């Protein structure tokens, strides 16, 4: 990582979560006048786990969509210490494991492989995810966040997906793997790597507020992707590029496999 960029990122001063929550408040105010017929007036409660080395976009994409869906968003961490994202920008938790509401409409876990592995090995994190996941209406993840759900025992017997380079770890923890971009199985919703978070956000927005509301959010965000390259999936990228990515990340992928195996051994069958 560019150390100069990281220093600039960290010197922004105001923690990112405050800016994101201001976005949520602004979005809610703008939508209120146009959304009288868009769904129930009660705001859905969203608990979004955050942890060091998580991928910023895994959080920011879904959070932006859910802000426009007029949600009550809680950024949850073990304690109130600032959380460092993958790009060095700091996020301030708004609540802790102990303080987080117990009756969440949505539990959400983002990814970020190094941070994900640490979360999979952390008893307090897994206890929180397991507890809220057992009670939440919807249990969800983006990218490698599915591995945390799996380590907490929440994907056993469910279809699920994750980032393409760790999907094969899901069956170790009892999930049935799928290569779809967003997978819905009963009240579990898992999405693929990073950019799939916006697709996931629109799916959950439609569930919470209705299809028409979600379509309006998509238009508001001008979400009409046309990437410059056709290499966004293993099948499109081809074996040479896939092999290159896997070789570059071999060490951390091996660590993820160990964490998944350890989690499976800890969980009751």
Among residues 66, 67, 73, 143, which one is catalytic?
A: 143
d(CA 6, CA 125): 27
d(CA 69, CA 77): 23
The CB-side HSE value for 40 (13 A sphere, CA atoms) comes to: 9
For residue 177, give the 3-state DSSP assignment: strand
The residue count of the chain comes to: 269
Residue 37 phi/psi, 5-degree rounding, is: -105, 15
The answer to whether 200 and 64 are in contact (CB under 8 A) is no
Beta bridge partner(s), residue 96? 77
143 among known catalytic residues: yes
- Report the alpha-carbon angle 175-239-87, nearest 5: 70
Kindly report the number of other CB atoms within 10 A of residue 52's CB atom: 17
Supply the residues annotated as catalytic: 143
């Amino acid at each position: 990582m560019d150390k100069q960029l990281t220093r600039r990122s960290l010197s922004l001063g105001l923690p990112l979560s405050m800016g994101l929550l201001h976005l949520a408040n602004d979005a809610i105010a703008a939508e209120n006048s146009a959304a009288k017929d868009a769904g129930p007036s009660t705001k859905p409660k969203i608990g979004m786990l955050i942890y060091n080395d998580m991928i910023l976009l895994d959080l920011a994409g879904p959070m932006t969509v859910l802000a426009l869906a007029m949600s009550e968003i809680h950024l949850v961490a073990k304690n109130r210490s600032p959380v460092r994202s993958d790009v060095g920008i700091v996020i301030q938790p708004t609540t802790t494991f102990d303080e987080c509401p117990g009756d969440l409409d949505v539990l959400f876990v983002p990814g970020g492989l190094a941070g994900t592995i640490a979360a999979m090995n952390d008893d307090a994190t897994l206890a929180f995810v397991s507890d809220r996941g057992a009670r939440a209406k919807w249990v969800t993840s983006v990218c490698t966040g599915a591995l945390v759900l799996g380590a907490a025992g929440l994907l056993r017997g469910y279809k699920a997906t994750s980032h393409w380079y760790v999907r094969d770890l899901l069956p170790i923890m009892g999930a049935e793997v799928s290569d779809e971009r967003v997978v819905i199985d009963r009240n579990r919703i898992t999405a693929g790597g990073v950019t799939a978070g916006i697709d996931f956000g629109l799916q959950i927005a439609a569930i919470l507020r209705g299809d028409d509301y979600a379509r309006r959010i998509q238009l508001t965000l001008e979400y009409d992707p046309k990437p410059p390259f056709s290499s966004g999936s293993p099948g499109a990228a081809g074996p040479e590029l896939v092999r290159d990515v896997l070789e570059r990340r071999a060490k951390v992928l091996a660590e993820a496999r160990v964490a998944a195996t350890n989690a499976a051994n800890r969980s009751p069958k």
